[in-house]
Structure formats: C-alpha cells, structure tokens
Structure 1
Amino acid sequence: MDSTVTGTLALSVFTAVLGSMEFGYNIGVINAPQKIIEKDYNATWMHRYNEPISEGTLTSLWSLSVAIFSIGGMLSSFCVGFVSEWLGRRKAMLINNLLAFIGGTLMGMSKLCRSFEMMILGRFIIGAYCGLASGLTPMYVGEIAPTSLRGALGTLHQLAIVTGILLAQILGLESLLGSDELWPVLMGFTIMPTVLQMSLLPFCPESPRFLYIIRCQEHHAKSGLRRLTGRQDVGDMLAEMKEEKRRMDMERKVSIPELFRSSLYRQPIIISILLQLSQQLSGINAIFYYSTSIFTKAGVQSPVYATVGAGVVNCAFTVVSLFLVERMGRRTLHMLGLAGMCICAIIMTIALALLETVPSMSYISMLAIFGFVAFFEIGPGPIPWFFCSRVVLSRSEAGYFFTFNKSLFDIFRLQDLCGPYVFLIFAALLLFFLIFTFFRVPETQGKTFDQIAANFHHNLGGTMDMDLDMDLDKPSTELDYLGDDSNN
C-alpha cells in the first residue's frame, strides 16, 4: 500500500482502537473508587449477615475484584489466534463487544442488586474482552495499514490505552463519578465505547490480508484494498500478498513447544519475550504506585490531580512517539526510552533515599516520575505491541502468546517487599534490556514478514545484523524463509 490515509482507513483504525481505549479504561477505573466500593461491599455484607465484614474478608474480596480482571485477560488472550482466523478480524472484534456489554452491565448493576459477586464476575468478563481486544486491535490495524505508516498507526494502540487510563482517572474523581452514588455509573461507562465500536464496525472493511491469505477470497480482498487505499489498481499489493501466501502455504503450522525447539524460530521468540518483559518489568507500575505518596510529601494539596497530570504526560509522549516512530525507527526509540527510564530510576532512588533529610528532594522525585513516564511512552510503552507482531511469524500459534502478559507481572508487587529501593532493581533490569536491544534486536521499519524471517535465518549462527542490510526489492528465497537444515 502507499502512504495515503483515506477516510475508510482512518475510520477503520479509529474504530479498532476503541477496543484499546476500553482496555485502558478498565485498567485504570478500579483504582480511584477503591475505598467507596469497599464500603459498599461492607454494606452488602451487613445487609446479608447483620454484621460488618471482617478486614481479611474485605481484603480478599477486593483483591479478587482487581486480580480476576487479569485472569480473564490472560485466559482469553490464548484464543486470539483461533478466534481471529475462525471469525475474521472484524467479526471477532464485533462479537467480542458482547463480552464488554455483559461485563459492564454486571458491574454497573452490582450496587443496585447488592451483589459483590456481580462486580467480580463483571471484572472477569471485561478482562476476557480486554485479552481478546489487546490482540485483535494491533493485528487488524497492522494488516490494513500501509507499510510506511504501520509503525505510526501501530502506536495508536498504546495511545488509546493510555487515553483510556486517563479518562478513567478523570471520571473517577469524586467530583465527577467517583462518589458513593455514582461509582456504578463509572464502572458501567465501559459500555459506551462498546456501543460506538459496534455501530461503526459494519462500515469498516475486513483485513484484505486475512481475506486473501487465510480465506482465499481474492475478489473480496481486492475490494477491501480499493476501499482502504482509494486506488482502483491494487495489483501490486495483491501480488505481494500472493507471494506471502505462497510462502506460508509451504510451511507447516508451528505449535508453541516447537517454536522453542526449532533454531529457526527460537531467536525471534526469545526477542519477543524479552521485548515484552522490557515493558512489563520496566517499573512503570511502581512509579504510579508511589506517585500519590510522593506528591503528598511534596506538599501538593490534591495529589490525585497530580496523578492525573502524570496520566496527561503519559498520553502526550505517546503522541510524540507516534510522530517519531517512522523517522527514528522502532529499535532506536526503544533504546532511547530504556536509557531515559534507567537514568530516571536512579534519580528516583537517590531522591527517595534522601527524602526525609532533604525535603526538596520530593520535587526531584516528581520530575523523575514525569520523566520516567515520558520515556516509557517514547519506547517500552508502544514499541513491543507491534514490534513482536512483525518478528514472530503471523501463523504461529505463539504470535499472540504475549499480548496480555502485563497482567501476569502485575500480580507480583516487588515494591511491597523492597520499598523505594525497588527502583534500583528496575534500573538494573532496564540496563540489561538496553544492552540486549542494542546487540540482539533488529530494526523492522519498512520490512515485510518474509524479509524479517529471512534475516533471522541468515543470522542464526552469528551476531545479529542490526540494520537488516538486505535488498528490499529482492524477494527472499524459499530457502531463506524455510530454513537451511545445514545451518541449524
């Protein structure tokens, strides 16, 4: 495809990332009204048993309300590959909205029905929705986007997530929906983007790549390409998909265990894992964990508003990444983000250690927070989401294995054990990921699946060629793509 952004392309991308925004909204919505919801849990317990709920039971119920979202997401994320091929990208997103509608309704009605079970079940179902959405959205956007804009449009997935988090933070303010009476509206608000996406999806074309390569529907694929590009002559793009289909038909489908056993796939899988770990173990959750207390010590009258300010920085620098990703490349931005976060983590550790004796260090801590968030959204925030979809071959069952592993690492709260010194651990991890990215992660900007796969094969026995120095106009051979057993 060329780089023209047609109305149909813009509508399709906007509609798809509504699912990402809902994902972000449901990540952030549970935090602000915690005390109010816990009070309602206690009122429900009193109504049923005529005695106040014990502290241990309340803690368990609340922890379950939070964690079950992650469990639902992790379980459903394993189904992304199957569901997307069975129903198609667009229809899968459409049907997935039923989960969001059911989950939002259960959460919104839980107070009226005096049932914390409805709240917990609703969180599980909305988590299942988010697990599918976090895989379906970047998949669909990546397949309909022009090659020259794939990175920028792929970043919109992360932008929509942080926008959803910010929206949840704002609406969760006590002066808006975070009150005793309105918190069910806050939880049920997730239905709104669902209704909007369901209304717009019928006007969006199915992924031409899916139609041709998976369903062998050349006529419908041509129609979709014409709508997305605004061009009548789409023969060159169809020829590219034909070549990709020919290569994919020659390979057999690979299971997750086989991916780790095969030398042809092992390297890209390891890179995919570590890229996702560089996002999830970067310390961004610990930053938000400490932000309110740091803002309080700094003398901020309403620390919740300062936390919302950190959310604004989150969104702003995601936009910055949107404009930089096609100019600087994915690998460069990822390294820049990791390096900046590492420096900010060290500054944060020093500032927190001296906070009691040097009060002015609280302001340094605030600056470090904003800097840490900014560098996260320049690199580790958006890059792994679409980088891994380019590195791992699209028909592999493990291609979406990592779409929701964020929740897995949210369970382990290192900061509870280490306190502020946890940032030293994150600094060391960030330095490791920076070194790994420099030596082992290739640049995928402007590269096709075939070119990336061929490069991995060429470098199995030696050091990774960082620039993927290859003739982009020359198609990779079957031997390049399938692998030469003599080198494995």
Structure 2
Amino acid sequence: MEPGNQLTGTLALAVFTAALGSLQFGYSLGVINAPQKIIQKHYAISLGVWSERSAPLDNSTMEDDSLDGRKDSSVLMYWSLSVAIFSIGGMVSSFFAGFVGDLRGRVKGMLMINVLAVAAGLLMGLCKIWKPHLMVIMGRAVMGFYCGMSSGLVPMYIGEIAPKAYRGAMGALHQLAVVVGILISQVIGLDFILGNDAMWPLLLGLSGAPAILQSFLLPLCPESPRYLYILHGKEQEARKSLLRLKGAYDPTPDLEEMKREKEEAEKEPNVSIRSLICSPVYRQQLFVALMMHLSQQLSGINAIFYYSTAIFSGAGVSQPVYATIGVGVINTVFTMVSVALVDKAGRRTLTLIGLGGMCCCAVAMTVGLKYQNDFWWMSYLSMTAIFLFVSFFEMGPGPIPWFIVAELFSQGPRPAAIAIAGCCNWTSNFLVGMTFPFIEALLGPYVFLLFAALLFGFTVFIYLRVPETKGRTFEEIAAVFHKGRRIPKDNNELQQLKTSSDA
C-alpha cells in the first residue's frame, strides 16, 4: 500500500469517534416516530384534556373519544412542534458549525457541543417530572441545535484527516452512521422494547447517550493536521498529527500540499459566510455544493417514508412497522455498498446512477399508487419501487453531498461553505416536511411525478456541472472551477488545466 494511505488504529478510532455524532443525529431523526400515540396521550394528560372515561394508558391508538374534542387540537399542535423544532434548531445552528470548528479546533469543537446533546437527553429522559410536552419540545430544540453543528463538524473533520485514497469511503461513513442511528431508533422503539408507556422517556433520553461515549474518546483523537498547519501555522504539531493518523511514513508531501494551500489562503482575506456568498471566485463551487444538497432533500426520500406504511398495509402486510424497519435495513445495507464503491466508481458516477434510478422508481411509484385499487399486483410494484428508491438514494445522493462540500473547497472557505450547505440542507428538509402534506393533497398519487421531474433536472445538472473528485487533491479540484466549466476526463487533463491556470 502507498505510504500515507494505510489504515491505522488511530485513524479508525478518530473516524469512529467522530461518526458517533452522526449516529446520534440519525437516532434523533427517527426516535420520535415510533411512540407517537403514547407521547400524544401524555401530552393530553399534561394539558388536562385526557378523558377519564378512556381506557388506561397502553399501546392502543388514541381514539377520538379519548380527548375533549374542543381541545385535542392543542395536543396535535404541541406534537407538531415537537417534530418541527428539531429541524428549526438544526437550521439555526448549522451556521455556527464553521465558527465552532475554527474556534478551538475540530476535536475540541465536537467535545464542546456534546454538552448540548447531554442536556437535551436529560430534558427528554426526565420529562415526566414536570410537563412532558414542554420538556420534550425543549429537549428536541436543544438536540436539533446540537445536530445542526454536528452535521457540519463531523464531515469536516473526517474529510480533513482521511487519506486521499479513502476520503470518499470515510466521508460516506457520516451517512452510514445516520442510517444506523435511524434503524436503532426504529428497533428499540418497538412496543415490547422501549416504545411503550413506561419506557418512552428513556427511549427519547437515549438520544444523548452517544455524546457521553464520544466525550470519553475524543481526547484520544488527533486534531486535524490541516487545521493545525493551514489555520495556525503549527507545522510540527501537524507533522505529529499526520504520523499518529497515518503511521510511519514521510509526511513531507502532505505538508507541502498544505503549505501551498496555506499560501493560497493567505493571499485572500478571511472567508466569512457573507464574503463566500458574494465572492465570484467561489461561486461555481458554492452553486454545485448547494445543488448537491438540494438534490438530496428534494428527491422525495421523505415522501417515500411518508407513504411506506400505507403502501405496505395496502399490500396486505399485517405489521407495516416491521416492513418500515425493513426499509431501514435496506438504508443501512446500501449505504455500506456506497462506502465500498465510492472510491472506486467515483462520487459523480454514483450520484448520477442514484438520481437516475430514483427518477425511474418515482415513475413506477406513481403508476403503482394510481392503479393499486384496480390491480392487486400494483401494490407489490409500489413496494418494490420503495425498496429500489431507497437503495438508489443510499448509493449516492444520500451520503455524497455531506462530504463532497469538504472536497470542493480549500481550507480557507471550507467552514463557511459547510455552514451554508448545512443550512440549505436543513431548511429544504424543513420546507419539504411542512409543504408535502399540502402538495400530496393537491396532486394525490401524481405527487411522485413532481419528484421525478426534479430528479431528472438534478441528474442533468450533475452530468454537466459536477466534476469527479475521486483521488484528487483539494488543490486540483479547485483548479477545475478556476479554469472554467469544462470537466476534465482524467487526472492528466486536470493537471494540464491546473498548469495553464497557474501560468
């Protein structure tokens, strides 16, 4: 194996430790769904609108006559806020990811924000001691604030410490940890484990558990050598960090690359979020980064999860929740496929395959939903389309946008770019969640034709405008955008572009 590209125990520990933040993100995304009815009952009791004539609390659904009909809207309002406040917290805090990462470093930054995750877990885990609806909402808001920063810091740190040959695979581990977190929350949220009346506060409170483990492991992880050298000029500390991460090798080539990047960064003023948005130098990279994140959130993946239970029920599945967990397993398996392929097939190729496949599945989904009451086998077409849709999503459009932003930008503008892209992701996620019920009511089963059209547009854009970043240095990737829109066919042509650009 080429020196400097070997996988060491310290590197594995650092990537695993960082990915715990992503696991916590995924768990927090999925944990609120399984115990929905039970949480709503406790909200009703806290608000004083639970009817005494109703049956004792158990895992049955909340019947219409269980609530005072004049007041049950307040339960739904607090429930909706419990779900939405998580995204709002992420939208706000994503702007601070770059600032926190630069303030004390990537490692200490992740350690600092763990205070938020632990506090959020305690608020939700102890919600029964006061007013559950307020405690859960506060906990979800704080957890969303944590996840907004974590979803920026984790890909940033992993992207900066990963060897060039494995940068894609390690970057995709962020998404893998997210889907594993979602799957864990679905499994332990089952009725007979923690998704019941007695244990649901513990189920929510465990959202903060990964932060405790991460806090013990982070002091063992080296700081990003790029952060040490490029931002603070600490060459010797960067050298020690490289040797810890990559083992015994000559770090001179890596340090020379960082030196060139530092010299380029010093020629320009500090790149804040505002200056990055206004600067024509980075406009193409920023546009590509935002479109990659939009393609993830506007792909219809959340709508698929919205429809999945109803489709599985229509197909005769007696326990749709287990089928939904099956979708979570598919999520995890194909994210692992992406981890294995991303450094071989390339980011651009996997994203194109993923978006194109999702587009075809969206059309099949439309046909299945339209005719599932007319032909018995149409429900199975819809089920197949769901599994394939999720598979294609996790092969490329799911994991790649999170780490490709770190590859598209050099050290100077990288934190600001990750903050902007993260805010774009969280905002579009929130808007899709808020508007989809209304769009679905308007278009019915044809709603997936809208997503098919968007997916087709994103596929064309990525084919025309997104370069391949596999196996290239940050400096080489930047040269593509500085030279123009033309996408080089291989590394030799890219080197020619870079040489002529320098001249």
Pair in the same fold by TM > 0.5: yes
Deviates more, 1:394-403 or 1:143-152: 394-403
Deviates more, 1:191-200 or 1:341-350: 191-200
Q: Distance in 1 between matches of 2:352 and 2:8?
A: 32
Equivalent of 1:218, from 202, 219, 235? 235
- The aligned residue for residue 64 of structure 1 is 81
TM-score for the superposition, normalised by structure 1: 0.93
Q: Distance in 2 between matches of 1:115 and 1:328?
A: 48
Equivalent of 1:38, from 37, 40, 44? 40
- Give secondary structure in 2 for the equivalent of 1:263: coil
1:406 to 2:425 alignment: yes
CA deviations on 1:272-291 (whole Å, 9 max, x unpaired) are 11111110000000000000
- The aligned residue for residue 185 of structure 2 is 168
Contact preservation (8 Å) 1:281, 1:426: yes
Task: Tell me the amino acid that sits aligned with residue 13 of structure 1.
Answer: V
Superposition deviation, residue 12 in structure 1: 0.4
Q: Distance in 2 between matches of 1:447 and 1:147?
A: 7
- The aligned residue for residue 98 of structure 2 is 81
- The aligned residue for residue 19 of structure 1 is 21
Tell me: CA distance 1:179–1:28, structure 2 relative to 1, closer, same or farther (3 Å): same
1:159 to 2:182 alignment: no
Q: Distance in 2 between matches of 1:237 and 1:268?
A: 23
Q: Distance in 1 between matches of 2:424 and 2:332?
A: 22
Superposition deviation, residue 217 in structure 1: 1.5
Superposition deviation, residue 464 in structure 1: 2.4
- The aligned residue for residue 431 of structure 1 is 456
Give 1:83-482 correspondences, 5 Å limit.
83-231=100-248, 233-396=250-413, 397-409=416-428, 410-413=433-436, 414-459=439-484, 463-467=485-489, 469-470=491-492, 476=498, 480=501
Task: Tell me the amino acid that sits aligned with residue 380 of structure 1.
Answer: P
Contact preservation (8 Å) 2:222, 2:241: yes
Structure 1, unpaired ranges of 5+: none
Task: Tell me the amino acid that sits aligned with residue 25 of structure 2.
Answer: F
Question: How many pairs are equivalent?
Answer: 478
Q: Distance in 1 between matches of 2:253 and 2:397?
A: 34
Contact preservation (8 Å) 1:134, 1:404: no
Superposition deviation, residue 391 in structure 1: 1.6
Superposition deviation, residue 475 in structure 1: 10
Q: Distance in 1 between matches of 2:78 and 2:30?
A: 18
Superposition deviation, residue 263 in structure 1: 3.3
Tell me: CA distance 1:62–1:275, structure 2 relative to 1, closer, same or farther (3 Å): same
Tell me: CA distance 1:187–1:363, structure 2 relative to 1, closer, same or farther (3 Å): same
CA deviations on 1:56-115 (whole Å, 9 max, x unpaired) are 211111111111111111111100111100110000101111100000100111123233
Q: Distance in 1 between matches of 2:281 and 2:240?
A: 35
1:28 to 2:30 alignment: yes
Contact preservation (8 Å) 2:41, 2:50: no
CA deviations on 1:390-415 (whole Å, 9 max, x unpaired) are 12344222332112433323333233
Superposition deviation, residue 445 in structure 1: 0.9
Q: Distance in 2 between matches of 1:256 and 1:221?
A: 26
TM-score for the superposition, normalised by structure 2: 0.91
Contact preservation (8 Å) 1:12, 1:204: yes
Q: Distance in 1 between matches of 2:425 and 2:129?
A: 32
Contact preservation (8 Å) 2:86, 2:144: yes
- Give secondary structure in 1 for the equivalent of 2:299: coil
- Give secondary structure in 1 for the equivalent of 2:421: coil
Superposition deviation, residue 319 in structure 1: 0.4
